[in-house]
Amino acid sequence: MTEAPTRFRDLTLSAFIERLGSPAPVPGGGSASAIAGALAAALVRMVVALSLDKPKYARYERTLRRADEVARASVDRLLDLADEDAASYAGLAAAFRMPRATPEEEATRRSTIEVAARQASLSPLEVLRTCWDVLAVAEAIAGRSNLNARSDVATAASLAEAAARGGAANVLINLPMTGDEEFIATTSAEVIPLLEQVDDLATQARFATARTDLRDPEPE
């Protein structure tokens, strides 16, 4: 008898969507964000493949190959993060179900929640960071890749932006439960500027893909 897949990457698309739409707490928004980011990275790879070895885009080869390298690694990382996020949130959900009938039980429950909330913040933070990487290379190839695929670059940028914002939302909702003011401050200080950069990169990518002319190559 064949065992059911345990990793999201091994599920069919319809099976993952069915799980996502179920009442189960996982997968949730963090895993969905990671999958959306992986789709964005895959689109970047597709556009690169449609651009390399074409004389018209030869002057962008360095940018295209760098984008492909980043996107390839990001696909794999984000698929792993979909599972990591689900596991970390499942741990947090389990902590909330712990007994609290006595002061001792309440103290144990609270400390377990704080540890689990920290882990549940770290996984979506990594989703945000990785989606920033994807968005940065999507912006870099916008106007420096096959013009017939510029809508695909725009789609990649939009997916990466949404995925990054989804990751950030999951970080920010879990942070207060960690009970660690230093960790809250340090993590917030990373998330907020990253979101501002995400907005700028997505805007720049959309602007570049709305044009029908090519941009100058990136500076050496």
DSSP string, 63-114: HHHHHHHHHHHHHHHHHHHHHHHHHHHHHHHHHHTS--SSHHHHHHHHHHHH
CA distances from 41 to 6, 94, 196, 220 (A): 23, 32, 20, 24
Are 138 and 109 in contact by the 8 Å Cβ rule? The answer is no
- CA geometry: angle at 102 spanning 98 and 106, to 5°? 45
Query: What is the model's pLDDT at position 220?
Result: 78
Query: What is the model's pLDDT at position 3?
Result: 54
Q: What is the CATH number of domain 26-209?
A: 1.20.120.680
Q: How confident is the model at residue 1 (pLDDT cuts 50, 70, 90)?
A: very low
The type of residue at 55 is P
139-154 burial: b if 16+ Cβ within 10 Å, else e: bbbbbbbbbebbebbb
Mean pLDDT of 184-189: 97
Cβ atoms within 10 A of the Cβ of 216, count?
A: 9
What angle in degrees, to the nearest 10, is found between the helix axes of 29-49 and 61-96? 170
Structural element, H or E, at residue 196 = helix 181-209
Q: How confident is the model at residue 29 (pLDDT cuts 50, 70, 90)?
A: very high
Give residue for tokens 């001792």: 104
Q: What is the rounded distance in angstroms from the CA atom of residue 152 to the CA atom of residue 136?
A: 15
Q: What is the mean pLDDT of the chain?
A: 95
Mean pLDDT of 71-91: 97
Q: How confident is the model at residue 6 (pLDDT cuts 50, 70, 90)?
A: confident
Q: How confident is the model at residue 16 (pLDDT cuts 50, 70, 90)?
A: very high
The type of residue at 86 is A
Q: What is the rounded distance in angstroms from the CA atom of residue 197 to the CA atom of residue 200?
A: 5
Query: What is the model's pLDDT at position 2?
Result: 47
Query: What is the model's pLDDT at position 195?
Result: 96
CA distances from 3 to 6, 10, 11, 68, 168 (A): 9, 12, 12, 34, 34
| Model confidence, pTM | 0.94
| Structure confidence by residue, pLDDT tens digits, 31-59 | 999 999 999 999 999 999 999 999 999 99
| Structure confidence by residue, pLDDT tens digits, 100-144 | 999 999 999 999 999 999 999 999 999 999 999 999 999 999 999
Four-residue CA torsion sign, 99, 101, 105, 110: positive
